[in-house]
Structure 1
Amino acid sequence: MNVLPRLCPMALVAFTGLCAGGHAEAAVDDEVRATFERFVQVQNAHDPKALEGMLADSAGFLWITRGTVIWGRDAALQQFAKLYTGTWRLDPEYGSLRVVAIGDDVAQLHVPVQFTTGAAGQAPQVVRLYLNQVLVRSGGVWRVLSILPIPVPTP
């Protein structure tokens, strides 16, 4: 008995499903990367109004900065506005950017960045960070739910 004619349709269905899954992951990757590129542009332009729409409006929004834990989008926007009065610049290493789809509407992003920061009137300092973000998609729009920078150890 030849089972090949019965297996071919099943194999085709399985292969199609794998390809579609790869396409969906690639779409998430591209969308999250584009959102992050826009996030960097907004950060470097010191534009809190544009940033507001990029951050998830959730009490669960989390940003850890300089050892301070900030919960909620409004608190984060207030802190960003203060920091924007000085030097504030992100320079990601886009070639090392990685996106991991956690679900259809949740993704984690990791990228090394050079971060230049300094209070107004003070000399800026440059530090390398591993920037980690969790993004969520709602209404077809990706928004940042968490920002977790980790200092890169000096060699």
Structure 2
Amino acid sequence: MKASFACSIAAILFAATAAHAGTEDEVKVQFGKFIAAQNAHDLKAVGEFLLNSPQFLWITRNTPVWGRDAALKRFEENYKGTWLLEPKLEEIKVSELSAGAAQLFVPAVFTIAPPGQTAQPRNFLLTQTYVRTADGWRLATILPFPIP
């Protein structure tokens, strides 16, 4: 009986580890595609990554932007100037918060400026929350934290 209990525990732990590894890989792939769409200033593609909900939250320049539509309007304005996001991909961390929810953390260099202004690279810690929907992983929050 002890052996079968130990085998059951091992199977559960293996399944949990495999599920986490699957979630981590899936979220990393989604993040990479999202960054590529942002750097290409592809508003349509960026919109496909955002959770289509009024509860979507993006904090930008200390201002909350609520909802997918409002975020897309803000991205559209930002894309008129300089916009380049360079995450340190080798430092990505993904934590599975629960089944169907994951948190991504990555340091990044962000170069942004309005049209006609000189852009300066700035360091950020980028945190994103992803939720699994019927259409795949979608971004529910984007929370960048500037660092010196």
TM-score range, shorter chain: over 0.9
Counterpart of 2:69 in structure 1 is 74
SS of 2:131's partner is: strand
Matched to 2:50, the amino acid is L
The offset of 1:139, in angstroms, is 1.0
Residue 63 (structure 1) aligned to one of 33, 45, 58? 58
- The alignment status of 1:139 with 2:108, answered yes or no, reads no
Seq. identity, %: 41
Counterpart of 1:129 in structure 2 is 124
CA deviation string 1:92-132 (max 9, x = no partner): 00111100000110000100000001111111111000000
Q: How many pairs were matched up?
A: 148
Matched to 2:102, the amino acid is A
**Displacement over 3 Å in runs of 4+:** none
Counterpart of 1:106 in structure 2 is 101
* Structure 1 alignment gaps of length 5 or more: 1-5
Hey, what's the Cα distance between the residues in 2 that align with 1:103 and 1:34? 19
Residue 23 (structure 1) aligned to one of 18, 22, 38? 18
The offset of 1:68, in angstroms, is 1.3
Larger radius of gyration: 1
Matches within 5 A, 1:25-44: 25-44=20-39
Moved more, 131-140 or 73-82: 131-140
Compared CA separation, residues 140 and 12, structure 1 to 2 (3 A): farther
RMSD of equivalent CA atoms: 0.8
The offset of 1:140, in angstroms, is 5.1
TM normalised by structure 1 equals: 0.93
TM normalised by structure 2 equals: 0.98
SS of 1:16's partner is: helix
Hey, what's the Cα distance between the residues in 1 that align with 2:133 and 2:114? 35
